[in-house]
Structure 1
Amino acid sequence: MKDILIITSYFPPEIGAASNRMFHLAKGLQTLDYKVSVITPMPNYPTGKIFQEYKGKFKYKRVENKITIYRLWFYASNSKNKFLRLFAMFSYSFSLIWFFMWNKIPETVIVQSPPLLVAFTNMFFLRSKKRKLILNVSDLWPMAGLELGAFKKNLSYRMLEKIERFNYRNADVVLGQSEEIITHISTLYPDTIIQLYRNYPDFEPPKIIDKLPSEGKITLVYAGLLGMAQGIYKLCEQLDYSRLEFHIYGNGAEKSKIENFIVKNPELPITYHGEVTRDELHKELLKYDITVIPLFNRIYGSVPSKIFEYARLGLPMLYFGGGEGEDLVKTYNLGWTAPAGNYQALNELIATIDKQYLTFENKQRIRTLALEQFDFNKQLKELKLYI
């Protein structure tokens, strides 16, 4: 049985796409008869505070689903202060270096990027002719940070670009979650082995509810991170509610602003439901007519994993983020698209949605397509060729 180590900054019990993606990868490799271990920080996302069960620990080891999980200490913070966030990343890097010094590292290591500096720590200290390093790239940093307004093109940005390229250059295999990521990296390093590895989910979807579309207003739902990149607070402000009601699930930096907005605007049909488990969420989502997938800005290389998850549930989706994600929704006829950031176009589109599209039969069509086209196990078996 071959040993594989996965190093990631996000892992359950944390919630979110990154955590789910790495859990499914670890579980999937384990089912293919690999001996899988995972290194990850103490759980803290998205609150930026270490979960109660793990407080006061420097290292925590546990075996779950036959996967050995090492949780390492680090300085947890979701502060907007760049220096505190940088210190948090460095603290995890220091814990990783300490772990490397005192533990035997398998010959095959999968490294998650971003965070860019954490990935650099792994690529720098684990370089070896006897070791295969597989870099799993889910977003193109620092480029994505520049598009989000988090960075400026200065000396710091150029240093991050050098770190990014060091990571690609020292990877034996690069996994990219989008065609745009593949194009970017292959342009820089055409001889690098690069494989498309989408963020396909792996779960048994609940039965689709055979019901007519909701009477009256369309029920629109968002579920996920309430962060700046998603722009849910802005969406609450800009939506035209004459034809819809808006339901929100999740947590994040904008939670308080959204709650305050709802309190100050009680006449608007907006409901915040808080956080629920992923299994509960899947059942809840099937109660609604349409789900919305927004991005505040179009981010090159980013394809929200919600596209694949919601398609597996059979949910028609309203995509409001541009880029490759928009192309996927159009190509597979998964719902509707509006130009990223154009709220007038979004409202005009909602006004034209025909409820005849919100039928049980169409939801079943979307699910069937997802099971055929977005097959996690098929993709995992293809990945095995590169490990």
Structure 2
Amino acid sequence: MSKILIISAVFAPEPVVSAKLSEDIANELALDYQVVVIAPKPTRPFGFDLQKDENNQTIYRLQNLDSYVFPESKLLGRLKESYSFGLACKKYISQNRKNIDLIYMNSWPIFSQYLIVKTAQKYKIKVVTHVQDVYPESLSNKIPRLSFILRFVFLPIDKFVLKNSFKIIAISNKMKTYLAKTRTLSESKIEVVQNWQNEASFTSYKQKENQDRRIFTYMYLGNIGPVAGVDLIIEAFAQASIPKSKLIIAGSGSKKEELKTFVVKSKIVNVEFLEVPDGKVPEIQGSADVMLLPIKKGAASSSIPSKLPAYMFSKKPIIGSLDIDSATAKVIVESNCGWVVEAENVAELANKMKLSFKSTKGSLLEKGENGFEYAMKNLSKKNNLSQVTNIIKNALL
């Protein structure tokens, strides 16, 4: 029986997209192969109370490596975390190389990926690399003043990682085209599989009617970090000043306390912050009328955040505030599941909030159904998980 090592930067019980993806992949592959998962100690998202199910029985083996962890959004801490986890992975691979036929890697960029691929190359072990975001470009967008230095230092490292990966999984066609061009890769080396949500938890949930139809509810549910742009939707909600409405911010993250303080100091009314217990996403989203998807400019041009399919599976219309040419904006427009405004345009976002408030119940339901149908065809676990596991299985041949 072939032996597969899954290296994941996050893993269960962390309720974040890459953790869920890696867990789904581990469970599926373990039906036919011997699977070991290595990951850091669980810390994501920042500030979330992680409850590990000690009775959870798995058909794969999970080992949390002893490496430095840094859940906050600070560059130096994150780079140290990546390097430390890379060293821990290097040690594990070296000690267990005779029991590894293939590595599936969804790890922290830059340093951990480099150390993993470099070590695997030494022992002639194939690596399938799952790219969730493009680095160092993603860093450059967040810190424009350091753009030249970041690209000069880190781009050659990323090129090495991808050139020496046996197969690359990109999460959008735009990402595939960009990586092939900027890393001088053959497009045949890159497979496109969009990230998925487990549709079963949404389809099995019997959605309840909004208990108080007098209150129109806007909702953001996801990580409350610096890239998310949650501050923009709070400002837009205040600017829109829609009667008989409220804004719910559900989730955890490094910016949550700062935003709660901002709401209080700015005297913005009808804004609520909620925790999201694991497994409760369908129920919480079920109380919304419109879901909000803000992403800071340049932060997600080629990737689709996990919030999007989750929103769509809840059959909710979506207002996206993001780069108009991004893959996420394209999905919202193609599926006709909501509205899109340019990233960081607070005035236009406020206008779209007003527009959705004035829309008929029937038109909102129609947009929600449009999103659900699109997500079932393109963003479901049923369709997309098998595509990833088939790529991994074929790499073993």
How many Å separate the matches in 2 of 1:49 and 1:332? 33
TM-score, normalisation: structure 2: 0.86
How many Å separate the matches in 2 of 1:83 and 1:362? 42
Cα deviation, 1:233-271, whole Å, max 9, x if unaligned, reads 233133223253100111111111122123334551100
Q: CA deviation at 1:79?
A: 4.9
Q: CA deviation at 1:67?
A: 1.6
Secondary structure of the corresponding residue to residue 189 of structure 1: coil
- Answer yes or no: is the 8 Å Cα contact 1:48–1:76 preserved in 2: no
CA 1:168–1:330 in 2, change beyond 3 Å: closer, same or farther?
same
- Answer yes or no: is the 8 Å Cα contact 2:136–2:150 preserved in 1: no
The aligned counterpart of 1:317 is 318
Q: CA deviation at 1:115?
A: 2.0
The aligned counterpart of 1:140 is 134
- Answer yes or no: is the 8 Å Cα contact 1:177–1:197 preserved in 2: yes
Structure 2 residue 148 is matched with structure 1 residue 125: no
Q: CA deviation at 1:20?
A: 1.9
Which residue type is aligned with residue 371 of structure 1?
M
How many Å separate the matches in 1 of 2:256 and 2:266? 15
Q: Which residue, 379, 385, 388 being the options, matches 1:380?
A: 385
Q: Greater shift after overlay, 338-347 or 189-198?
A: 189-198
The aligned counterpart of 1:304 is 305
The aligned counterpart of 1:355 is 360
**Kindly, what percent of the aligned residue pairs are identical?**
19
The aligned counterpart of 2:151 is 157
The number of equivalent residue pairs is 379
The aligned counterpart of 2:81 is 88
How many Å separate the matches in 2 of 1:368 and 1:348? 27
Cα deviation, 1:65-102, whole Å, max 9, x if unaligned, reads 21211100112224565433322222212211221232
Which residue type is aligned with residue 37 of structure 2?
V
CA 1:66–1:216 in 2, change beyond 3 Å: closer, same or farther?
same
- Answer yes or no: is the 8 Å Cα contact 1:114–1:141 preserved in 2: no
How many Å separate the matches in 2 of 1:151 and 1:113? 26
Structure 2 residue 333 is matched with structure 1 residue 335: no
Structure 2 residue 178 is matched with structure 1 residue 184: yes
The aligned counterpart of 1:264 is 265
- Please give the root-mean-square deviation of Cα atoms over the aligned residues, in Å: 2.9
Secondary structure of the corresponding residue to residue 87 of structure 1: helix
Unaligned runs of 5+ in 2: 393-397
Which residue type is aligned with residue 281 of structure 1?
V
Cα deviation, 1:131-158, whole Å, max 9, x if unaligned, reads 3210100100000111122672344431
The aligned counterpart of 2:14 is 14
How many Å separate the matches in 2 of 1:49 and 1:210? 27
Which residue type is aligned with residue 342 of structure 2?
P
How many Å separate the matches in 1 of 2:89 and 2:145? 26
The aligned counterpart of 2:205 is 207
How many Å separate the matches in 2 of 1:79 and 1:113? 17
TM-score, normalisation: structure 1: 0.88
The aligned counterpart of 1:194 is 190
Secondary structure of the corresponding residue to residue 15 of structure 2: coil
- Answer yes or no: is the 8 Å Cα contact 2:48–2:253 preserved in 1: no
Which residue type is aligned with residue 175 of structure 1?
I
